[in-house]
Amino acid sequence: MTLVQIGPLAALIAGILILIMPRLLNYIVALYLIIVGILGLFG
């Protein structure tokens, strides 16, 4: 899997999880921002 394929898949999974448990939104957004930041610095 490439990064191009992982992005939409991660968004779909995150969206489903947020619908099931809305309190996860904070954690999902935080993890996303951390990952994007790390990839931006080192990628």
Note down pLDDT in tens along the chain; length 43 residues.
Answer: 666 777 788 888 888 888 898 888 888 888 888 888 888 898 7
Task: Write phi, then psi, for 15 (nearest 5 degrees).
Answer: -60, -45
Q: What pTM does this model have? A: 0.57
Tally Cβ neighbours within 10 Å of residue 21. Answer: 11
Q: How far is CA 8 from the centre of its chain?
A: 9
Angstrom CA distances, 17 to 8, 14, 40, 41, 43, stand at: 14, 5, 25, 28, 27
